[in-house]
Amino acid sequence: SEDKEALDLILDEEDNKYLLEALDRLTDRQREVIILYYFENMKIEDIASRLGVTYRTVVNTKTRALEKMALLLKNKV
């Protein structure tokens, strides 16, 4: 997916220190969605069910989190 490619690009361009700092700057909900989706490989519908929110809310949260992380990493946090 496009988001997966974006995350791979971020990981290729920056080291783990910056990634962890960027994750730390996200809201708790954004961080949770990113971790569940990318690191625990959960499906969006499963994340929505687990968090008690809609599918669209998870998609929007993930998109905003990736945009924020990309900006933070571009500026090296």
> What's the pLDDT at 61?
98
Q: Where are the domains of the chain?
A: 2-74
More confident residue, 43 or 72: 43
| CA–CA dist 46, 39 (Å, integer) | 14
> What's the pLDDT at 54?
98
> What's the pLDDT at 7?
67
> What's the pLDDT at 20?
86
Residue pLDDT, tens place only, 4-53: 676 666 666 556 778 889 999 999 999 999 999 999 999 999 999 999 99
Which class does domain 2-74 fall in?
A: mainly alpha
> What's the pLDDT at 73?
84
